[in-house]
Structure 1
Amino acid sequence: MASKMDLAAQFAIRVFTGIRVAMRDGAELNVRITRPVASGRYPAVLEYTPYRGLGAVLPDHRDETTPVIPFLAERGYVIVQYDVRGTGSSSGFCMDMYSEQERRDGYDMVEWCAAQDWCTGSVGMIGLSYGAVVQWQVAKLNPPHLKAIAVRSGGIDLASEFTSPGGCLRPWLFESYAPVMSAYNFSPPDAILAGDRWAGMWQERLNNSAPWGLSFIRNVNDPAYWRSRSLAPDYDDVQCAVLLIEGWADWYATAELNAYRHLSCPRKVIIGPWGHYYPETADAFPGPRIDARYEYLRWFDHYLKGLDNGVMNEPPVAVFVRSWKTPTLICPEEAGAWRSEAKWPPDRALDTVAYFGNSGSLADTPQDGFETYEYRPAVGLTSGRLGMGSTKPWGMATDQRLDDAYSVLYEMDPLPEEMELLGQPSIVLFVSSTAEVAYFAARLCDVAPDGTSRLITEGGLLSSRNRRAEALVPNKVTEIQFALKHCAYRIERGHRLRVAVASASFQNAWPTGQAANNTIYRGRRHPSRILLPIAHKGPEILNAPNFLAPPDAQVDPQTMSNPTYALHHDLVSDRITCEMAAGDVANGGYNSSTYRVSNRTPEDTTIQAKCLYRPTHPSLSIEVEANCRTVSDARTYSHQVQITVKNDGKIFFENEWTECVPRGLS
């Protein structure tokens, strides 16, 4: 690839804030533009989120949320960022995330950019997380001037990846995301940006907005709600060029690799080791980090400026292949190496069957027998937080043996030679349960000679989300199939490969509501098994990708403020409590939560969460507090929200909402 000298900054830049752009219905979006000082026509790159990131401009044009913004502007792009309607300093109100109106606004903003006299007519999009998902939504609408997008950590099926992986609610939604977004969305716009419209804009928001957590609960059993907001299965609707960048420690590596496989447009994918970060930032754990700004630049240079820079002559897939490292809650640097591939999964990765066998073995042929285990809702102590949630970077999976003790284990003998897994393992289980519903979770682990167990990948499925959405017949054998997350991992000679099966992963999946004893059957009639994508040495090994080093040294974890992340076991009640707290009331908000799970009464699960946020104002002291209580019992899920807004210490606004739905077979 080109060097930093070849792609050096060419322009002095300037930031314009407080721009108002009217939408079809009269709502005005708050827009920030970062662009070269020099007059002329440039391609535009669009980004939008609801995360209140477009306030004061930081010194030296350091953008506080997206480090590539000034970088691209210095190299001949106009970057257009805006707040989602009803959030930040945009007018209007917000009832739920990714609304149809919001998606139309995205389409209209692409075309607004293209129509400006400073634009060449070529428009791209960029963004992480929420800012990545919205790119899929806009790309599906195919605005005529959208030529390329750069998707950093974006799900493609929001029900199965964001709200309910495997069919069970994601606890993090209610521990963190719901209270934080409630506090944000009931906060006022920036007084300087809104001017004399400030009070009226805020009052409209207070009168009409609704906490997002209500829609999370309301639509828990309505896949169509999330499908309308997702890319899948409408891959062919996307016609612009797509650059995918994600990390194994993040939520959406599997989503982005599946998008790469199904899209028919020009595309490339990079999967590194990182969590939910831009990989060029100083706190992007775990490393090794790369300067992904140059990857975005080369992508946009080719598709927005028409430069023949060779970006599509390189292998389309770059993955970091992880290898053994003693698992710890925080991992500054992963072990492994970068690999280029011509496709994903590579042709040399062949699905190899390993049957669950006698004496906890993984066998070449089916072996008759069964194993029965008690459903323990608190299994998942060692799983960490997918995406590292609110605890980042303290959220990596730890030694799996604590959960292995409450799981059914099947494993290989020590490997006579190293094994490499490249692709997506899958599980076939023949099971029965004494309950009408059960969750089946599988972990694939690398076990060192000393017994330390490291998580490679995992997955799970609620029985009612199997091929037939129906209740289990107690003690009747049922076939359950599900895929684990994609992986790229090398297992050393002398290590063992272990499959651990349980019926909970409580930190990442809401416990099912019925106590149970579950049985795994195996043998010729019931061949429970795992399919492993074992990569064999091919005739041609491509050169490893040559990424540039990031601009700043990695942050020393010892200098970072520590979150609260504690797991407590009450031995008398046999109840597990997870406590988390992190943040700053004036800088993104302070979020705290308590999540309680009972091993004796699994239907009784509770999350109590709060976010306290103090938006800035030149003369007023404003405090917004969101309190959320999310509860399940044997029959229902309920979510209660209380918003309290104080102005100079006095209550200015207060409201409560409650949503309650049948939990059904979950």
Structure 2
Amino acid sequence: MGAALPAVAGALYAGLPVAAQPVTVQAQTAPAADYPDFVRSSLYVPVSDGTRLAVNIYRPARGTAAETARLPVIFAFTPYRARVRDAEGKVTEVALGDRLALRSLIRAGYVVAVADIRGKGASFGTRIGFQSRREAMDGHDLIEWLARQDFATGKVGMIGCSYLGGTTFQTATTAPPSLKAVFVGASDLDKYSFVRRGGISAQFNTRPDEPLSDDLASVPVDVDADGALLRQAVAQHEKNTPMAGLWYGMPYRDSISAYTGNAFWEEVGVYNHLNAIRKSGMATYFWSNWQDEPTAQSILSAANLAGSKFLAGPGGHCNPPPGFDFTGEVRRYFDHYLKGADNGINREPRATYWRERLPGGTVSAPGGFTGGYVRSNVLPGAGARATPWYLGGGHSGTARSVNDGMLLAAPAKGAGRDTFTVRYDLPASDYFAFWIKPMDDKGLSYTTAPLTRPMTLAGYPVARLRVSVDKPDANVFAYLDEVAPDGTAEVVSFGRLALSHRKLAAAPYATMGLPFHSGRKGDTLAMKPGVPADIAFDLTPVSRVVPVGYRLRLTITGADPRQRNLKEIEIKPAPVITLSRGAASRVDLPVVR
């Protein structure tokens, strides 16, 4: 049915991350397409509250004849329009691309269904909130409807990335009886900790909403030849909850939204519904890439669902991992759980993830990545040893206004402090800047000496700092850079924390030992101007080998150019932040032997 092991052009290692062992992997040839063609249909399907949602169905075919035997169904649930026509009249269809392996799944003998969420595309209804329980129940209803159709075996899988990953994960929490396996890309376990990481909203989900004309470009369903129903549906979208207003309006985890009338962060926190997934017995697979902030949440999602598989590649948001047979992996996963194929995927190590500059790795990926894949029965970071590197003074050894500090393997004797004024005159960021360029000239930086032996990092760095500020509150951003011998630098990890959110709390889910801040209003603490406080926060996870001669640099700033509301939240006069050096401040690096 499916291929054996995924084809990997490069090194593939197996075992625990503390003792990865090389194995020989024979690249497999993907089987020929069983169904080269498809037959598409579309219709409105009413969900439990009567709202009609636009559903597009793609049945495998040979020529113009659809397969008459019952087949498993793969479902994707999108806000970005399942079928849309551009200004030149060209129609783009989610199901006919392979970014999520959907076209390959049709060829492999799966019915693929793509629906527009309520309040978007050609669907009727109004979106109240963002990935709300109502939206999750819509997914539940559509899955059960699909499972009952005469083309279906009754077994359904679901796949998506980014927002579509969220609809997949949220739908899974409703435990539809027919949903047997999900493949979740770049989504969150804890939406508050993702969108307002450390109490600070950055770029995610804060963009302006799309105009209604975008939804009017949707292709009407089959019975709506003149588009009259489409126009009626889109008219209802006028009352959709604005995403940016929703997120900005809830600064605390227990904030009551003016739009939804409830503590909406709790409603959309998947961690509150994990037991439903566990009891259902459905299979779960989580995927993200290292240069993408949701990866931190994807690892935690897998950690909280025993037996979950995990995949991380190099590169950015929702890009299929290069040098890895992504479509083959997706197919093998669904072949096993929906078709019963004994292809071994359930016996393979649970985690497969990219390691930059893995010894023996030969994969070259877009963006200059070179390395290979590690396979392990534990998640990245689980086998790492927290190794402290301490903030040390610069060449002058006194308080400075220049960023020439040192990052030391042992704390220097004596105390010291470094002070900087928060800078808001930051360069304009790309609109969708999922990653960031070095910020070493915008705050204070501390750099190691050139490494005399390679250092392998796998997991979450954690910043543990002693800070004071001349205001009741300020934001702190930390960036871990890798600096090449020629001075070229790149950010490999970053994190953020509002000082008022510094209080640590017990987490409602497993955090793999990472510091957790509740974000609840009652747990916030104002800073006493000039009085130091200890803070701890994790940075985004990393997986790479830092070579001999390279240096690592920790930069601390008070603002980030990706904050879309930076002008609105600017504090005047700008806060003055002081860092204590020596044993009081360090970054713990996840070092793997």
Fold agreement, TM-score > 0.5: yes
Determine whether 1:167 maps to 2:208: no
Q: Are the structure 2 counterparts of residues 199 and 259 from structure 1 closer, same or farther at C-alpha, using a change threshold of 3 Å? A: closer
CA contact (8 A) 1:93 1:204 kept: no
Cross-structure match for 1:85: 118
Q: Find the partner of 1:228 among 267, 280, 288.
A: 267
Cross-structure match for 2:586: 529
Q: Could you list the per-position Cα deviations for residues 461-496 of structure 1 after superposition, in whole angstroms to 9, with x for gaps in the alignment?
A: 111222141211111111111000110011110111
Cross-structure match for 1:476: 531
Mapped to 2, the partners of 1:59 and 1:178 lie a distance apart of 23
Cross-structure match for 2:389: 354
SS in 2 for 1:122: strand
Q: Are the structure 2 counterparts of residues 182 and 474 from structure 1 closer, same or farther at C-alpha, using a change threshold of 3 Å? A: farther
Mapped to 2, the partners of 1:449 and 1:332 lie a distance apart of 19
Deviation at 1:415, TM superposition (A): 0.9
Bigger fraction of residues in strand: 1
Cross-structure match for 1:366: 411
Deviation at 1:363, TM superposition (A): 2.9
Deviation at 1:73, TM superposition (A): 1.5
SS in 2 for 1:362: strand
CA contact (8 A) 1:90 1:189 kept: no
Q: Could you list the per-position Cα deviations for residues 71-96 of structure 1 after superposition, in whole angstroms to 9, with x for gaps in the alignment?
A: 11111111111111222111223343
Mapped to 1, the partners of 2:327 and 2:461 lie a distance apart of 32
SS in 1 for 2:96: coil
85-94 vs 487-496, greater mean Cα deviation? 85-94
Determine whether 1:303 maps to 2:337: yes
1:320 partner amino acid: W
1:456 partner amino acid: V
Cross-structure match for 1:335: 370
SS in 2 for 1:155: coil
CA contact (8 A) 1:420 1:490 kept: yes
Mapped to 2, the partners of 1:396 and 1:207 lie a distance apart of 32
Cross-structure match for 1:517: 576
Mapped to 2, the partners of 1:364 and 1:11 lie a distance apart of 59
SS in 2 for 1:361: strand
Deviation at 1:510, TM superposition (A): 4.6
Q: Find the partner of 1:453 among 478, 489, 492.
A: 489
Deviation at 1:107, TM superposition (A): 0.8
Mapped to 2, the partners of 1:140 and 1:198 lie a distance apart of 31
CA contact (8 A) 2:283 2:308 kept: yes
Cross-structure match for 2:159: 126
Cross-structure match for 1:434: 470
CA contact (8 A) 2:55 2:115 kept: yes
Determine whether 1:103 maps to 2:148: no
SS in 2 for 1:18: strand
2:337 partner amino acid: Y
Mapped to 1, the partners of 2:559 and 2:421 lie a distance apart of 11
CA contact (8 A) 2:475 2:559 kept: yes
Deviation at 1:203, TM superposition (A): 6.7
Q: Could you list the per-position Cα deviations for residues 349-385 of structure 1 after superposition, in whole angstroms to 9, with x for gaps in the alignment?
A: 2111122223322334434211111111245x49x66
Deviation at 1:201, TM superposition (A): 1.5
2:447 partner amino acid: E
1:533 partner amino acid: P
Deviation at 1:19, TM superposition (A): 1.6
Mapped to 1, the partners of 2:317 and 2:180 lie a distance apart of 26
Q: Could you list the per-position Cα deviations for residues 364-422 of structure 1 after superposition, in whole angstroms to 9, with x for gaps in the alignment?
A: 4434211111111245x49x66xxx547xxx7644x3xx31232222222111111101
Determine whether 1:279 maps to 2:320: yes
Q: Are the structure 2 counterparts of residues 531 and 300 from structure 1 closer, same or farther at C-alpha, using a change threshold of 3 Å? A: same
Cross-structure match for 2:8: none
Q: Are the structure 2 counterparts of residues 101 and 433 from structure 1 closer, same or farther at C-alpha, using a change threshold of 3 Å? A: same
TM-score by length of 1: 0.70
Cross-structure match for 1:503: 558
CA contact (8 A) 2:73 2:113 kept: yes
Cross-structure match for 2:13: none
1:434 partner amino acid: D
Q: Are the structure 2 counterparts of residues 366 and 73 from structure 1 closer, same or farther at C-alpha, using a change threshold of 3 Å? A: same
Determine whether 1:50 maps to 2:109: no
Mapped to 2, the partners of 1:60 and 1:432 lie a distance apart of 53
Mapped to 1, the partners of 2:273 and 2:237 lie a distance apart of 36
Q: Could you list the per-position Cα deviations for residues 211-247 of structure 1 after superposition, in whole angstroms to 9, with x for gaps in the alignment?
A: 4333233334455412311323543432321122211
Aligned pairs for 1:77-226 within 5 A: 77-161=110-194, 163-171=195-203, 173-174=205-206, 177-180=207-210, 184=214, 187=216, 190-191=219-220, 193=222, 194-195=224-225, 197-198=228-229, 201-202=232-233, 204-205=235-236, 208-223=239-254, 224-226=263-265
Q: Are the structure 2 counterparts of residues 97 and 491 from structure 1 closer, same or farther at C-alpha, using a change threshold of 3 Å? A: same
TM-score by length of 2: 0.79
Mapped to 2, the partners of 1:183 and 1:438 lie a distance apart of 40
Mapped to 2, the partners of 1:460 and 1:75 lie a distance apart of 44
CA contact (8 A) 2:82 2:95 kept: no
Cross-structure match for 2:56: 32
Q: Which has the higher contact order (CA 8 A, sep 6+)?
A: 2
SS in 1 for 2:349: coil
Q: Find the partner of 1:490 among 545, 565, 571.
A: 545
CA contact (8 A) 1:458 1:484 kept: yes
Cross-structure match for 2:508: none
Cross-structure match for 1:416: 452
Mapped to 1, the partners of 2:94 and 2:582 lie a distance apart of 64
Q: Find the partner of 1:63 among 90, 96, 110.
A: 96
Q: Are the structure 2 counterparts of residues 346 and 412 from structure 1 closer, same or farther at C-alpha, using a change threshold of 3 Å? A: same
SS in 1 for 2:208: helix
CA contact (8 A) 2:98 2:327 kept: no
Mapped to 2, the partners of 1:81 and 1:347 lie a distance apart of 36
Q: Are the structure 2 counterparts of residues 505 and 21 from structure 1 closer, same or farther at C-alpha, using a change threshold of 3 Å? A: same
Q: Mind listing any 5+ residue stretches in structure 1 that lack a counterpart?
A: 281-287, 325-329, 537-666
2:248 partner amino acid: I
SS in 2 for 1:309: coil
CA contact (8 A) 2:94 2:114 kept: no
CA contact (8 A) 1:443 1:499 kept: yes
Q: Could you list the per-position Cα deviations for residues 50-76 of structure 1 after superposition, in whole angstroms to 9, with x for gaps in the alignment?
A: 111324796999725855222111111
163-172 vs 447-456, greater mean Cα deviation? 163-172
Mapped to 1, the partners of 2:249 and 2:435 lie a distance apart of 31
Mapped to 1, the partners of 2:203 and 2:451 lie a distance apart of 37
Mapped to 2, the partners of 1:12 and 1:61 lie a distance apart of 17
Aligned alpha-carbon RMSD (Å): 2.8
Deviation at 1:346, TM superposition (A): 5.5
Deviation at 1:441, TM superposition (A): 1.0
1:291 partner amino acid: D
Q: Mind listing any 5+ residue stretches in structure 2 that lack a counterpart?
A: 6-26, 61-65, 255-262, 359-364, 395-404, 504-522
1:40 partner amino acid: A
CA contact (8 A) 1:20 1:30 kept: yes
